[in-house]
């Protein structure tokens, strides 16, 4: 899959923009605060149907304007896809090939992997960030996952509402517990299965980038740090037990404390070092990159499509050798968009690469 052509109107700091991209490498460079990240954000919006960076859709509208609009022409070997997204202060409208579709229906249609300096937080930050990371990519790998997660989420919300009331009818709580275990177990199984499948790809990426110095292992942890097999009965039993253990606390605090919404992903280097607390900066950065590189491979395998790859400001952190290596790894088959403040970050020059210079929301100078 690749993005041939992009049009923007009132999107962030772009008043009007029309661009044609290379099928392979697109390098977007320019000084700070010119619109490099904003451009990538518009591409991600077309693939996911919702913003990756902005909290609200309307944050994407150019200041002082009332709406914004993005249109992308995508191409796969045997078909085209035109996606249009219009956002007003109160509403959003999405069209696929000219037909209005539900706002949440385009998520994952065009797979995309976004790298940004914030990725380090997936390794270092709160468990929520690791869960979000798993969920976003799981939904792109298996579109069915979103429905599985949503079914759990609805039960979670209703159970929380019940707990918050203060007075809880034990029979009603039992009924919700059953639902929570049922739906939550499905989510956990999906996640464990994904982690098991991507583990070798991610380990391979870490191995290569670290110059064969590091092995990276991933463990999905449920219910206060338990590592469980991908077995429905085992997960259900552990879930039920933990609900019993925390029953008093849940009633006191009025919130659901057990379930996939509290789980975590542990990253371990060289069999014993927990990366979050004991890894070096370099090891953590490499792992943040490896996680996503591994997913690219998994997406290709599961979807039979090459995802678009967006790298925001990631190259500057690596030495020339690693840069070359990383570029080679990425550019092999997917369409790639890279941003940097320096053109020198990219020691490449061939007919498949287009350089774009961004200045104050305008891309007026294109150099081949
Ligand atoms: N909704 C908006 N309307 C207009 N301008 C905006 C909007 N949101 C952000 N901007 C501005 O757009 C400019 C470019 O932002 P962007 O994040 O794309 O910069 P960048 O080129 O990636 O810079 P850096 O190299 O520092 O990462 C910034 O000055 C930012 O404040
Ligand atoms: Mg930026």
| Pair 206, 321 in one domain | no
| Pair 329, 252 in one domain | no
| Pair 272, 282 in one domain | yes
Q: Check residue 148 and give its pLDDT.
A: 96
Are 25 and 338 spatial neighbours (Cβ–Cβ below 8 Å)? yes
Q: What is the pLDDT of residues 94-120, one digit of tens each?
A: 999 999 999 988 988 899 999 998 999
What is the SS3 assignment for 218? strand
| Pair 123, 102 in one domain | no
Are 10 and 68 spatial neighbours (Cβ–Cβ below 8 Å)? yes
| Pair 107, 254 in one domain | no
Q: Which secondary-structure segment (H or E) carries 77? A: none
Domain count, the chain: 2
Lowest-confidence pick of 39-48, 78-87, 339-348: 339-348
| Pair 299, 310 in one domain | no
What is the SS3 assignment for 122? helix
Q: What is the pLDDT of residues 137-156, one digit of tens each?
A: 999 999 899 999 999 999 99
Q: Check residue 366 and give its pLDDT.
A: 66
Residues 6 or more apart whose CB falls under 8 angstroms from that of 95 comprise 82, 83, 84, 85, 101
| Pair 84, 127 in one domain | no
Query: Quick check: CB of 237 below 6 Å from ligand 1?
Result: no
Query: Quick check: CB of 55 below 6 Å from ligand 1?
Result: no
Distance from Cα 212 to the centre of ligand 2, integer Å = 31
Distance from Cα 34 to the centre of ligand 2, integer Å = 8
Q: Domain end: 285, 303, 321, which one?
A: 303
Q: Domain end: 286, 303, 320, which one?
A: 303
Q: Check residue 281 and give its pLDDT.
A: 87
- Report the predicted TM-score, pTM, of the whole model to 2 decimal places: 0.90
| Pair 140, 86 in one domain | no
The ligand 1 atom nearest the CA atom of 35: 18
Distance from Cα 358 to the centre of ligand 1, integer Å = 11
| Pair 14, 84 in one domain | yes
Phi then psi for 38, rounded to 5 degrees? -60, -40
Ligand 1 atom 28: residue of nearest CA:
33
Q: Domain end: 263, 281, 303, which one?
A: 303
Ligand nearest to the CA of 359: 1
Phi then psi for 53, rounded to 5 degrees? -105, -50
**Residue 316 is part of a domain; what is its CATH number?**
3.40.50.300
| Pair 244, 331 in one domain | no
Q: What is the pLDDT of residues 236-277, one digit of tens each?
A: 999 999 999 999 999 999 999 999 999 999 999 998 899 999
How far is the C-alpha of 252 from the C-alpha of 296, rounded, in Å? Answer: 44
Q: Which domain holds residue 150?
A: 119-303
């Amino acid at each position: 899959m690749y993005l041939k052509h992009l049009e923007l109107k009132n999107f962030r700091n772009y008043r009007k923009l029309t661009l044609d991209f290379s099928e392979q490498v697109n390098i977007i460079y320019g000084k700070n605060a010119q619109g490099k990240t904003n451009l990538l954000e518009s591409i991600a919006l077309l693939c996911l149907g919702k913003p990756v960076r902005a909290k609200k859709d309307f944050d994407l509208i150019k200041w002082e304007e009332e709406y914004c609009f993005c249109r992308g022409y995508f191409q796969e070997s045997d078909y085209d896809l035109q996606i249009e997204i219009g956002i007003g202060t109160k509403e959003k409208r999405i069209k696929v090939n000219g037909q209005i579709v539900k706002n949440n229906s385009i998520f994952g249609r065009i797979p995309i992997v976004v790298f940004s300096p914030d990725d380090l937080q997936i390794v270092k930050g709160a468990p929520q960030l690791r869960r979000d990371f798993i969920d976003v990519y799981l939904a792109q790998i298996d579109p069915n996952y979103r429905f599985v997660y949503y079914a759990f989420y609805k039960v979670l919300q209703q159970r929380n509402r019940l707990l918050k009331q203060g007075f809880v009818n034990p029979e009603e709580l039992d009924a919700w517990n059953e639902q929570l275990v049922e739906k939550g177990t499905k989510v956990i199984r999906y996640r464990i299965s994904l982690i098991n499948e991507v583990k070798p790809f991610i380990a391979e990426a870490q191995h290569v980038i670290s110059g064969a110095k590091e092995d990276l292992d991933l463990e999905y942890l449920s219910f206060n740090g338990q590592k469980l097999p991908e077995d429905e009965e085992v997960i259900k039993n552990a879930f039920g037990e933990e609900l019993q253990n925390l029953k008093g606390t849940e009633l006191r605090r009025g919130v659901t404390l057990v379930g996939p919404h509290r789980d975590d992903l542990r990253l371990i280097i060289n069999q014993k070092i927990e990366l979050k607390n004991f890894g070096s900066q370099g090891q953590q950065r490499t792992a943040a990159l490896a996680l996503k590189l591994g997913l690219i491979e998994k997406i290709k395998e599961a979807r039979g499509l090459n995802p678009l790859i967006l790298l925001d400001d990631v190259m500057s952190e690596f030495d020339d050798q690693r840069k070359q290596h990383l570029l080679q790894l990425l550019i092999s088959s997917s369409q790639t968009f890279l941003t940097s403040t320096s053109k020198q970050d990219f020691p490449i020059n061939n007919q498949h690469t287009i350089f774009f210079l961004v200045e104050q929301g305008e891309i007026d100078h294109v150099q081949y």
